[in-house]
Amino acid sequence: MSTLFLRTLRDDPADAEVPSHKLLVRAGYIRRAAPGVYEWLPLGLRVLRAIENVVREEMNAIGGQEILLPALLPREPYETTGRWDEYGQALFRLQDRKGTDMLLGPTHEELFTLLVKGEYSSYKDLPLTLYQIQTKYRDEERPRAGILRGREFVMKDSYSFDTSDAGLEESYRAHRAAYQKIFGRLGIDYVIVAATSGAMGGSASEEFLGTSEVGEDTFVQCLESGYAANVEAVVTPPGDERSIEGLPAAVAHDTGDTPTIATLVDWANGALDREVTAADTLKNVLVKIRRPGGEWEITGIGVPGDREVDFKRLEASVEPAQVELLTDEDFAANPALVRGYIGPNGVKAAGGTYLVDPRVVTGTAWITGADEPGKHVVDLVVGRDFTPDGTIEAAEVREGDLAPDGAGVLVAAKGIEIGHIFQLGRKYTDAFELDVLGEDGKPVRVTMGSYGVGVSRLVAVIAEQRHDDKGLCWPREVAPFDVHVVIANKDEAAIAGAQDLVAQLDAAGVEVLFDDRKASPGVKFKDAELLGMPTVVVVGRGFADGKVEVRDRSTGTADEVPVAGAVEAILAAVRG
Ligand code: ATP
Ligand code: MG
């Protein structure tokens, strides 16, 4: 440590909000170069490399072959797939000296597809999994928490190529299992959540989320069954259909100035001889949706009035179409839509599509807009008074909602996305016409999977999950060094003894960080706690009595061991 390129800091950096960011900077693992752009110092780089190696071993174990593509990429392939524009402001675009457009790769589906197309031409060559551990660039809107969300970051991205859907499923399963091994070895607490909504069947894409209060992803789980899903992917269990026989007729009422659900509920509780809550009303939210290459189309979304429309869920449901709320001009252009008093039939009258939450089923009766100012209709029955054009997952998901598998209720938690596995299918192979000759001599369109691990983000996620108020606590698998030996004794014999101990550990293949600095024991102990090596060995006062102290950083326990048996005791601790 007397020569190590390391300066620890006593104070938290001013821009840091989350513990991992504060500690990684204070402990001298990383330094900021620009917003979302970080420098890796010796200790940080060792953690990053250790994580890379775990990822590499497990990718190799499923037959992945490592390659390395450039970060600086030509525009054309991204033009072919439409992503040059679709990626929006997150894409770093630049020009070379001749004025040719280029980009810094945010993810590499295009290049991998083209690469395979250039090399392979027969079904006999497949299946194939290629991967890289490489630096990605995304001009994130909100770079955050140091390396947790960077604009330059390291990702492992792999791509599988198969000739059949069954083959793709097999490649996907292999990746899923490899990811479980990777995150298991790294000692991360994580959940696997469904990442796409109902239409896709839920198995086409899953995310691995490291559980953490500072996470930006909200997921829900059912503790009874283990069901877990991203909020965007939650499938609402449909309500119970009922018979429409004998239900009271729908009646329109003058409800006065009641443009909101709250004012409508107040009116109903005064005017109707039953108790009404927001859940008895049908809220109609007007949006416009545009499919790729299409026109904007008006769509009404009906949800029980006690729930908001969750725009992220709505976006996920209509993807790849875009969705926006109706503007004042849109309302002005569609007089059938009476703001504050819109009903299902008004949406249809305006030529729009009317979609409902899955709870709005045949035989349910609602209080909703009557499509005239100051009027609402009571007992409007689904399947009798109106028929929706379909259902849509757009209503907010709440804790306490029934889980889709019916096993219990949902509880919410926060996570950080550490990995993503995705059955892409033929989106990119269609764009580049990647075919191979099949067994029957006819061309077969290849099908692809795409799989990412946030390698640099993992450094922060582990730090986030493994720290205390004194500093970092690395798991052995990724710790920069196995053992941190601290000399806390000015005596010549003790110094020589510590050097001898370090030499023996080194000879035994143990990686040792040796605090040989001329600093006070207090300063050294504080740094040892901040830096977070799993085992700390103190050569201190006890050395005169033939003793050294072996401390476990994460449990805080300390054992006095005789100098003569110290190497064995430390090896036992290191090798578990
Ligand atoms: P997020 O929702 O966190 O933005 P993403 O959906 O954009 O992630 P992918 O495109 O699937 O992520 O990328 C694969 C992995 O790369 C993610 O699971 C994540 O671990 C990591 N990653 C993505 N963006 C960043 C970033 N800005 N900084 C660090 N790691 C990132
Ligand atoms: Mg992102």
pLDDT for the residue 201: 41
Q: Tokens in use for 450? A: 């795409």
CA of 570 to the centre of ligand 1 (A): 38
Ligand 1: residue of 40, 457, 459, 464 to mutate (most ligand atoms within 8 A of CB) is 457
pLDDT for the residue 84: 93
Q: Alpha carbon 12 to chain centroid distance? A: 26
Ligand nearest to the CA of 149: 1
CA of 34 to the centre of ligand 2 (A): 19
Rounded to a whole number of angstroms, the distance between the first and last alpha carbons of the chain is 26
As a three-state string, the secondary structure of 68-102 is CCCCEEECHHHHHHCHHHHCHHHCEEEECCCCCEE
| Whole-structure pTM value | 0.84
CA of 379 to the centre of ligand 2 (A): 44
Whether 116 contacts 161, CB under 8 Å: yes
pLDDT for the residue 198: 40
In the chain, the domains with their CATH numbers are 19-234+412-464 (3.30.930.10), 251-391 (3.90.960.10), 483-575 (3.40.50.800)
Residue 183 CB less than 6 A away from ligand 1: no
Cβ burial, residue 195 (10 Å; 0-12/13-18/19+) = buried
Residue 457 CB less than 6 A away from ligand 1: yes
Residue 143 CB less than 6 A away from ligand 1: no
pLDDT values of the chain reduced to their tens digit, one per residue, 576 residues: 999 999 999 999 888 889 999 999 999 999 999 999 999 999 999 999 999 999 999 999 999 999 999 999 999 999 999 899 888 889 999 999 999 999 999 999 999 999 999 999 999 999 999 999 999 999 998 888 889 999 999 999 999 999 999 999 999 999 999 999 999 999 999 999 988 744 444 458 999 999 999 998 889 999 999 888 888 888 898 889 999 999 999 999 999 999 999 999 999 999 998 999 999 999 999 999 998 888 999 999 999 999 999 998 999 899 878 899 999 999 999 888 999 999 999 999 999 999 999 999 999 999 999 999 999 999 999 999 999 999 999 999 999 999 988 899 999 999 999 999 999 999 999 999 999 999 999 999 999 999 999 999 999 999 999 999 999 999 999 999 999 999 998 899 899 999 999 999 999 999 999 999 999 999 999 999 999 999 999 999 999 899 999 999 999 999 999 999 999 999 999 987
Which helix (H) or strand (E) covers residue 560, if one does? strand 558-562
pLDDT for the residue 203: 53
CA of 331 to the centre of ligand 1 (A): 38
Residue 140 CB less than 6 A away from ligand 1: yes
Q: Tokens in use for 419? A: 């990995």
Residue nearest ligand 1's atom 14 by CA: 452
Q: Tokens in use for 58? A: 């497990």
The order of strands in the sheet holding 512-515 is 512-515, 483-487, 535-539, 547-552, 558-562
Ligand 1: residue of 40, 417, 422, 456 to mutate (most ligand atoms within 8 A of CB) is 417
Ligand 1: residue of 212, 420, 459, 462 to mutate (most ligand atoms within 8 A of CB) is 420
CA of 292 to the centre of ligand 1 (A): 24
Q: Is 268 helix (H, G, I), strand (E, B) or coil?
A: helix
Residue 451 CB less than 6 A away from ligand 1: no
Q: Tokens in use for 52? A: 């890379």
Whether 370 contacts 256, CB under 8 Å: no
Residue 107 CB less than 6 A away from ligand 1: yes
Residue 220 has a CB neighbour count (10 Å cut-off) of 23
Q: Kindly write down the DSSP assignment for every residue of 434-456, as one continuous string.
A: -EEE-TTSSEEE-EEEEEEEEHH
Residue nearest ligand 1's atom 13 by CA: 452
pLDDT for the residue 199: 44
Could you tell me how many residues make up the chain? 576
Which helix (H) or strand (E) covers residue 43, if one does? helix 42-61
